[in-house]
Copies of this chain bind each other. A is one copy, B any other.
Amino acid sequence: MTSTWTIEERSFRLKDAKSYEGLFTLGSGNLHVRGSLEEHLDGCPQDVIVPPGDTERHVEHTVKWGAYVPGIYGRHPLLRRQIVNLPFFLDLAPHAGDEKLDMQSSTVKRYRRALDMRTATLTRSLEWRTKTGAVIAVRFERFVSAARPALCVQRLTLTSDRAVDVRVLGGIDARVTTLNADLFSSVTPGRAGHGGVTCAVRTNLGDDVFMQTSLDAPGAALKHTAAGRCARAEARLRLAPGVPAVVEKRTAVTTSRDQAPASPARVLADAAELSYDDLHAEHAAVWAGRWSDADVVIEGDAWSQRSLRASLYHLMRSLPRGDNRVAICAKGYAGELYQGLFFWDTEMFMLPFFLYTQPAAARALVDFRVQSLPGAQRTAARYKYAGARYAWTSDDKGDECCGPWVFKDHQVHVTADVAYALAHYARATGDQRYLEGPAARVLVETARYWMSRMDTRSGDKRPHLLGVMGPDEFTPMTSNNSYTNRLVRFALELAARHGAAAGAAAAERRAWARTAPALPIPRSADGGLVLQCEEFDGMAEMDINAEWKNRSIMFCWQVPQERMFRSKCMKQADVIMLMTLFPGEFTRAEKLRAWKHYLPYTTHDSSLSFGTHCIMAAHLGLEDEAWEFWRKAAGLDLEVKRRAPAEGIHIAAAGNAWQAAVLGFAGVATAMQSDVLSLTPRLPAGWKRLAFPLVWKGTPVSIEIARRRVSVTNRGRTSLKARICGRLRTIAPGATAAQAL
């Protein structure tokens, strides 16, 4: 049985190749590279260019290289700022005589590719029967060093059953484009000392990326060339029967935006004395620490265990550590869709995982919004509003890069989500000074935006937020979206409380405090149903089941937007999301009514929907529903055959899966919901044990939930209060409080 630490591919299928490339992405936070085949596939050019006017031309890539450094952007002709797909540096292609190893045309047996999530290492092994009859055992290994975030290390081991002359070609290949456009203004391949090759590219926005790679094989003849957009290295060696031959490739990638500038040659030189195994050991040690901080153990359900680890693996891989100039992009730096840019995903879906497992690392994510405040101010001004309005699709400068106006203009809740996240950071870490320090200006400026964004109506003095798209993107322009309004209430109250620190006068703060509760949270006439927005119940009735017959294709691809926009159909949790964030403000009856009312209209076209529904179902004790949504939330990117990870990782859904396990099944209340650590577990029937670490306001805690017993261990130095299944306990340092279920 495969370890629950491993994601495995047992046979190579061309149509799954692109999905595995996404799923097998490796990364150090600083440098990310998709899980492409070292020897590539013939006939799959990666430098396709589609002129912007050529709207009829659709390019379906069989495989898609992807190498990304967060913060390295170019200008795409159809978009604004776009993360750049950097030159491909993984190539390591064995040739026996004139025959190249090729997954399509070669005779290959015993294929296995596996991502070891514990050590963030990708390996591939296969048996290659060459045309001359030799049987060569081939093993590839690679990792992007967590200890040296600019370094990627690869090893190829070849063992032949007879003597064979082989050539292994590696190097750097800049024949790549980003979303079918060339974003480089210059490409300079070259040769380095000691047999290395280099490639420098400048993006069309002026950033420089420097790459250097070295190919090394004991006893091999090395050759290096640079031509066109390629720098090539070649190792020629003779395999002796039964004797493993090893080729190692190391690539360093540095950029003009690095905080500690270094040449790639320096990065390689620093590692020169260390063997592959040495480098791997220091890399694995970093990952061991991460898993120790964050792993969620699920016993009795290998599928859930592996799936959730895949989510945590990608979350921890994606985080640009120690760099608050960027956050985690929507595809987790495993693809170039969504421009490699930043959405509310970070605040509402990814941040909690980091906050409660690696709070120091989480700080960069909230600081990202603080440092990009000027961009949010520019965005507000562009719309003629006061203050700061965070962009729906934010670049690293905080400027709006969203194309379609309907999202850009109307999906305004992100600005309140940012305030919520700043408060969440402060409460979860216990660092309340944060809100009166760096974050205060964000609170003040966003409150000013909200005040200028509100409207009045004829014959009505109350404030209203009109022309709003809530989280549900199928209802584009509505009045008083309850999710948005509740978050804005929160943001105004927060700014009223802490805004003095950024110079907001008392009168202004009083206005915020007065306005917040006046913002309507619309309800049905009988008061029992929280309305998504004022219009929702007057929208066109729609029988989702009748309209959505082919469930293998998303709802939104089957029903024209024109119809969706006026109909009762929802892309994702909206009122349900509101209720999971503010569970104490709604009765169980209200939650159940909202659940029953909205679920038949919800298509979950958004990957952000499943996890939130899982949390609410667990909370309501709807066991079957919770389980059903868990399966969809947790397994999303492992759906290789459905091509789910082909364009990258649904990284917000990954964060949501962690929330489903910890906030849903373990029933942990967030620091926004409870001052003391509080949990009320509701394990799925098949789970024997759920165990995970948390950091609660600075105190590390271990939580163990078995079928009949829950225990909380205080691993910190001060005593901890915890409410376990409603019972308040005080736990001394080192002690465990247990309780029967």
Q: List residues of A whose CB falls within 8 A of some B CB.
A: 51-54, 77-78, 181, 382-384, 405-406, 409-410, 455-458, 464, 466-467, 476-477, 479, 534-535, 537-541, 559-563, 565-568
A154 to B321, CA, bound (A): 74
Interface CB pairs A-B, < 8 A, 26: A51-B52, A51-B53, A52-B53, A382-B560, A384-B560, A406-B406, A409-B560, A409-B561, A409-B562, A409-B565, A455-B540, A455-B541, A455-B566, A455-B567, A457-B537, A457-B538, A464-B540, A466-B566, A466-B567, A467-B540, A467-B562, A467-B565, A467-B566, A477-B565, A477-B566, A479-B566
Given A52-B77, A477-B476, does the pair A540, B384 have CB atoms closer than 8 Å? no
A53 to B410, CA, bound (A): 25
Q: Which residues of B contact A409 (CB under 8 A)?
A: 560-562, 565
Given A52-B52, A384-B563, A477-B477, does the pair A537, B458 have CB atoms closer than 8 Å? yes
Q: Which residues of B contact A51 (CB under 8 A)?
A: 51-53, 77
Contact between chains at B467 and A541 (CB < 8 Å): no
CB distance from A540 to the nearest CB of B (A): 3
Interface centre among A51, A77, A565 (most CB of B within 10 A): A565
Identify 17 new A-B residue pairs, CB closer than 8 A, beyond the known A384-B563, A457-B540, A457-B541: A51-B51, A53-B77, A53-B78, A53-B181, A383-B562, A455-B540, A455-B566, A455-B567, A456-B540, A457-B538, A457-B539, A466-B539, A466-B540, A466-B566, A467-B540, A467-B565, A479-B538
A405 to B562, CA, bound (A): 8
Q: Which residues of B contact A466 (CB under 8 A)?
A: 538-540, 566-567
Among candidates B78, B477, B541, residue contacting A456 with C-beta atoms closer than 8 Å: B541
Q: Which residues of B contact A563 (CB under 8 A)?
A: 383-384, 467
Q: Which residues of B contact A405 (CB under 8 A)?
A: 561-562
Of all chain B residues, which has the CB nearest A454? B540
Q: Which residues of B contact A181 (CB under 8 A)?
A: 53
A565 to B77, CA, bound (A): 28
Q: Which residues of B contact A458 (CB under 8 A)?
A: 537, 541, 568
Contact between chains at B477 and A560 (CB < 8 Å): no
CB distance from A644 to the nearest CB of B (A): 27
Number of this chain's copies in the complex: 2
A243 to B384, CA, bound (A): 65
Q: Which residues of B contact A479 (CB under 8 A)?
A: 535, 538, 566
Closest 6 CB pairs of A and B: A53-B77, A467-B566, A455-B540, A52-B53, A409-B562, A52-B52
Of all chain B residues, which has the CB nearest A459? B537
Q: Which residues of B contact A53 (CB under 8 A)?
A: 51-53, 77-78, 181
Q: Which residues of B contact A456 (CB under 8 A)?
A: 540-541
A54 to B52, CA, bound (A): 9
Of all chain B residues, which has the CB nearest A408? B562
A567 to B456, CA, bound (A): 10
Given A52-B52, A53-B78, A477-B476, does the pair A562, B410 have CB atoms closer than 8 Å? yes
Q: Which residues of B contact A477 (CB under 8 A)?
A: 476-477, 565-566
CB distance from A523 to the nearest CB of B (A): 16
A163 to B676, CA, bound (A): 105
Of all chain B residues, which has the CB nearest A404? B405
CB distance from A50 to the nearest CB of B (A): 10
Of all chain B residues, which has the CB nearest A547? B384
A537 to B455, CA, bound (A): 13
A382 to B563, CA, bound (A): 12
Q: Which residues of B contact A383 (CB under 8 A)?
A: 560, 562-563
Q: Which residues of B contact A559 (CB under 8 A)?
A: 384
A540 to B480, CA, bound (A): 12
Interface centre among A78, A538, A567 (most CB of B within 10 A): A538
CB distance from A76 to the nearest CB of B (A): 8
Q: Which residues of B contact A538 (CB under 8 A)?
A: 457, 466, 479, 534
A384 to B567, CA, bound (A): 15
A458 to B529, CA, bound (A): 15
A560 to B452, CA, bound (A): 14
